[in-house]
Amino acid sequence: MSQNYLKIENLTKKFDDYTVLDSISSSIEKGSIYGLIGTNGAGKSTLLNCISGIYFNDNGFIFTNGEKIEDNVNIKDDISYISDEPYFFNSFSMKDMAKYLNKVYPSFSMDKFYEISNLFPLDITKKINTFSKGMKRQAAIVFALSKNPKLLLCDESFDGLDPVIRQLVKRIIIKEVTERSMTVIVSSHNLAELENFCDVIGIIHQNKIIIEKKIDDIKENIHKIQLAFKPMIDVSEIKDVDIVKYTTRSSVMEIVARGKLDDIIPKIEKLNPILIDPIDISLEDIFIYEMEVTGYDASKVLI
């Protein structure tokens, strides 16, 4: 049975008179990877800063395993946060930084540091301030995972990484999730980046989470199907099928429909089409349809 590890209740965060997060609520299961999607300025970083305890909430609560995060030192030791702009001591090498973190955090493991750093093309004896932006992100990822966190927060952590390193990072995180039931929240403005990585996607827009769905659930319940009729029929003749969107061209009709594919196909077959061809549909397309139904302009939410 799944277990909620992180619970957010009516979280509100303001800066002066500007509300960045407005009564946000969410539950995230232990051992899952949650993708937080939104444009720049949507509130992704603010939410992660609240969860990590860097920012205090103006209203609402955040719990892990039923305990409040705020002012709870023991819980904060279970969290690793890879910020959008990781900070390191200027004169330190990766090895120096690891020794420092090993003294500060009881859960930090030097053995794990050496194990993970060996997977990356990084020289742990060189000063970190000589690293490129992408190398600094890699170093931050190594340090975060060496802490054996129960909760890993990643703020745009794949930006600046080349495709090979990006896939490596994903494989390492998935391994930690599988072996230790680590819970992960990863923010991004790129939905396609997270399509085959996350269990759940939440889209944040205008201070609120507007859509939150398990990827498996939405992929099973919305489908794009290409149909051919001769002669062409009107879409209204397709009865008892929840059609979200359709286009027609000559004798070909393309529909996007909600429901189980095994339920949809027999209803269409009654109309004797000369072709029924289910087409792969991207996660981004699915969320565009979801937002259109709820009245949001996808072009302003997904970039």
pLDDT in tens, the chain (303 residues): 457 789 999 999 999 989 999 999 999 999 999 999 888 888 999 999 999 988 999 999 999 888 888 777 778 889 999 998 888 998 999 999 999 999 999 999 999 999 999 999 999 999 999 999 999 999 999 999 999 999 999 998 888 889 999 999 999 999 999 999 999 999 988 888 888 899 999 989 888 898 898 988 888 889 999 999 999 999 999 999 999 889 999 889 999 999 999 999 999 999 999 999 999 888 888 887 777 777 777 677 765
Query: 114: helix, coil or strand?
Result: helix
Cβ-contact 240, 226 below 8 angstroms: no
Which pLDDT tens digit goes with each residue over 12-68? 999 998 999 999 999 999 999 999 988 888 899 999 999 998 899 999 999 988 888
200-205 and 208-214 beta bridge pairing: antiparallel
Q: Report the distance separating Cα 69 and Cα 79, nearest Å.
A: 10
Q: Report the distance separating Cα 192 and Cα 218, nearest Å.
A: 15
Provide the pLDDT for residue 1: 40
Token output for 210: 């507007």
Q: What is the CA radius of gyration of the chain?
A: 23
H runs (alpha helix) in 86-155: 94-104, 110-117, 133-146
